Structure 1
Amino acid sequence: MKKILLIEANVAAGRELLGAAAQLGAQTYVATHEELYEQYPIDLREEIAGTVFTDFARPDDALRELAAFCRSTGIDAVVTSWEFLSPLAIRLAAELGLPGHLPEAADACRNKRAMAEAFARHQVPAPRTVWAPDARALAERIAASGLSYPLVVKPAENAGSIGVTVVRSAGDLPAAAALAQAQTHEFPHNIPLDTTLLAQEYVGGDEFSVETVISDGTVHHLAITEKFTTQGDSRAELGHTVPAVLEPPAAAAVLDAAERAVTALGLRNGIAHTEIKADAQGHARVIETGARPPGDHIMRLVQEALGISEARAYLQAALGQTPDVTPRRDRAAAIRFLAAPRAGTLRWIGNLPEGDGILDTNTYVMPGDKVGGPHDNIGRVGHVMLQAPTADEVNKAALDVVNSLTVEVETAW
């Protein structure tokens, strides 16, 4: 029986990987933090063959401790479901001689400054990027580079659109920099974050992501996901649809850009989630690529729409097996997130849908809970997942659902 080490399980992708491992007849061991494991639901613990505790805030010690555990346990593959832990997973697989990605590029799979440097070296179509330690130095770098506003300011390391601002003038730069540097440690593992400031040229167009499995360097693109985001100065993701509605030339440009990004980051055996913007002329530019499963239940959307288990394919690639990437369905699936219109106290969420085409509804908060505004992905209060024969139909159904929902918030005065 094959043995898999999953670095962190307490997210949606972790549950999907545990389920896929069971289907493959493999045992899954989980590496996590002891205090976080105490919060694991009982049903999640029951799917785990064993656990190993370490401190992810000390990556060198974690690598040594996990390598010793893997050798003593006979681990055959290392995977992760958590974006912040992908460099550790890459280095651990290399240390053990297991299938994985190139360890010298591990940091570039997570740190957006290192990623921008890798993209520039390999001529990946991506926004021009400059970086600096503080707002004053960033303003000087912007001026020297010839970049013009609007620009996107973000931290080198974070996720979920946290700390990201569309900056429209130099006068708005200090506030954007303060927001980008506000969070210094990841939650819940307390991993220190690189708070270097990045400024990227603003790229117009629609947003997509490409879901990819790589096996011995061979790239298998499973799906192009259409993304829906807020507008204005912040960028929170409102939902996703699989597959995206794209004309063939535009789809080809998106897939080509994703493949070039994957290659630039040295991804060889595993999974990738590449976020891309593409305009009406078919020009595609890579915003970022992660060496980890997609969040936001996108793996389930791929399964519901195309009949491909992305989690299973990821595990197969990490085990050195040929991944099963054959589509078995020709449908569409979508998820839309519910957000509070502003920060305050949740009063109620009304008109949650039921019936044909509704795969799942879930609320994350209860009446009386404090909620944030729709500025990043942390402000979500729930989701609805749908399916339909085509992407156009599922998008229409999703729009009808969103328009009928009510999220009422009481603002404290």
Structure 2
Amino acid sequence: MTSVPHLLLVCPRTDILGKLLGLPVALTVVHRPGGDRELEEATALRVVDADFQDPDALLATAREVHARRPLDAVLGMTELSLYPVSVVADVLGVRGNGAATVALAQNKAAMRRLLHERGVSSTAHRLCATAGDAAEFLRDHPGGIVLKPVDGNGGTGVHLVRDAGELAAAWAWTTGAKAAWAWSKEATGAPRVLAEEYLSGQEFSVESLSADGRHRALMVTRKYSSGPPHFVETGHDQPAGLAEPACTAVTSAALDALDAIGYRWGPAHTEVMLSADGARATVVEINARQGGDQLWELTQHTTGTDLLLWSVLALAHAAPPPGSAPLAGGAAIRYLRPAPGRVTAVEGVDEALAVDGVIRVGELCRPGQTVAPLGDSWNRTGYVVATGPDAKAAGAAAEAAAARIAIRTEPEAQ
């Protein structure tokens, strides 16, 4: 008889853990600091505490777990756990993406260089140590450039520069971002700002799941943003509604990029810019995890595949998921955009929930909290998820519900 595979699951959220009850997988869970342990204790063989952002600390914990009962795989569920988890996979020789692969996904400059070398669609870029370096790059790309931290996430520090007069403010914005992610321990003062040629067009993402290097593209997602200069994501639609051959171009670019960096296991969220004429599909970012913004939830509605549950099963059993039947023809999420300031009231939630097709209103702020100016994904507040017979209907339902929610704010005292 084959024993049940043993998976080290690092920092799962409670809603993820609930999906795993009864699965043919033995779990050891690395506890999410500050979280409730009750469900973790009920779900897992064992719950352990470790600094999931420190590769050495996590590896020491994983070695102790492995000695008690050999691990078959390891999966990280937060951005900051991905690189430490990859070190565990390499050292213990268990299933999981290796450190070289995850480092490429998290270092945008290294990813760009590799994609260029492998002939995968990428874009002109330069790693900049000074604003002067960015100014030189801008002169070579008069259509505009985008500055971003080389290892940022969630849109942190992104700023469009159209002309030289905007450069100083953009440089200050990008270099002031909190973008020192845990996998990177540069002590050399190496440049941290990536300048990229500005690409016009429409941005999409490809939600995928891999098992032993075999990738399954589950869904192409259409993205909405706040526009320049920061392009904060404000909503998503599934399916994207792309006609052929554009859909194939976007999907192929994403999967080719995963092959290029050696991606083998688990979920991925790959962002691709499609030019207005549909002739050029350019990989913008590779995220070695499920997409944020509830995209895993939208994907479950539109494909029937529970991306989180099947990520665990794919790692544990080294097999891709079976085909699934969609639960809805379309799904959408829209983020609320209240005025910055101190929240005085939140109204209209019941009215929003009454809109046909609305699934949930989530992550609302509360009176007394502060709404920051919309600068990246981390300072958004509140969203609406909806489904419908198609993406257009789902998006309309989400927008109608969002319009019914009033988050009232007042300027904070100086």
| TM-score, length of structure 2 as denominator length | 0.89
What residue number does 1:285 align with?
A: 282
Aligned pair partner of 1:4 in 7, 23, 42: 7
Q: Distance in 2 between matches of 1:100 and 1:58?
A: 17
What residue number does 2:402 align with?
A: 402
> How far 1:139 moved relative to its partner?
2.6
1:100-140, Cα deviation, whole Å (9 max, x unpaired): 33443331021111111121111221221111223233334
Taking the TM superposition and a 5 Å limit, the aligned residue runs for 1:248-259 are 248-259=244-255
1:63-108, Cα deviation, whole Å (9 max, x unpaired): 3443343343322211111123222222322222222334433310
Q: 1:52–1:395: structure 2 CA closer, same or farther, 3 Å change rule?
A: same
Structure 2, unpaired ranges of 5+: none
Taking the TM superposition and a 5 Å limit, the aligned residue runs for 1:167-316 are 167-184=161-178, 196-282=192-278, 283-316=280-313
> How far 1:311 moved relative to its partner?
1.4
Taking the TM superposition and a 5 Å limit, the aligned residue runs for 1:342-381 are 343-352=340-349, 353-355=352-354, 356-381=356-381
For the residue of structure 1 that corresponds to 2:336, the secondary structure is: strand
Aligned pair partner of 2:115 in 96, 119, 124: 119
What residue number does 1:29 align with?
A: 28
> How far 1:166 moved relative to its partner?
0.9
Q: Distance in 1 between matches of 2:164 and 2:123?
A: 19
**133-142 or 38-47, which deviates more:** 38-47
For the residue of structure 2 that corresponds to 1:335, the secondary structure is: strand
Q: Distance in 1 between matches of 2:7 and 2:330?
A: 31
> How far 1:390 moved relative to its partner?
0.9
1:261-290, Cα deviation, whole Å (9 max, x unpaired): 111110112221101111342221110011
1:195-219, Cα deviation, whole Å (9 max, x unpaired): 7001111111112110111122221
In percent, how many aligned pairs have the same letter? Answer: 28
What residue number does 1:84 align with?
A: 80
Structure 1, unpaired ranges of 5+: none
For the residue of structure 1 that corresponds to 2:397, the secondary structure is: helix
Contact 1:5 1:29 in 2 (8 A): yes
Aligned pair partner of 1:59 in 55, 62, 66: 55
Structure 2 residue 152 is the aligned partner of structure 1 residue 153 = no
Contact 1:274 1:290 in 2 (8 A): yes
Q: Distance in 2 between matches of 1:89 and 1:101?
A: 8
Q: 1:104–1:374: structure 2 CA closer, same or farther, 3 Å change rule?
A: closer
Structure 2 residue 315 is the aligned partner of structure 1 residue 321 = no
Contact 1:21 1:27 in 2 (8 A): no
1:32-60, Cα deviation, whole Å (9 max, x unpaired): 5xxx6234475566544433333345434
Structure 2 residue 84 is the aligned partner of structure 1 residue 72 = no
> How far 1:23 moved relative to its partner?
4.2
Q: 1:293–1:363: structure 2 CA closer, same or farther, 3 Å change rule?
A: closer
- Higher relative contact order, chain-length normalized (CA < 8 Å, sep 6+): 1
| TM-score, length of structure 1 as denominator length | 0.89
Taking the TM superposition and a 5 Å limit, the aligned residue runs for 1:325-336 are 325-329=322-326, 331-336=329-334
Letter of the structure 2 residue corresponding to residue 22 of structure 1: L
Q: Distance in 2 between matches of 1:102 and 1:263?
A: 13
Q: Distance in 2 between matches of 1:90 and 1:190?
A: 10
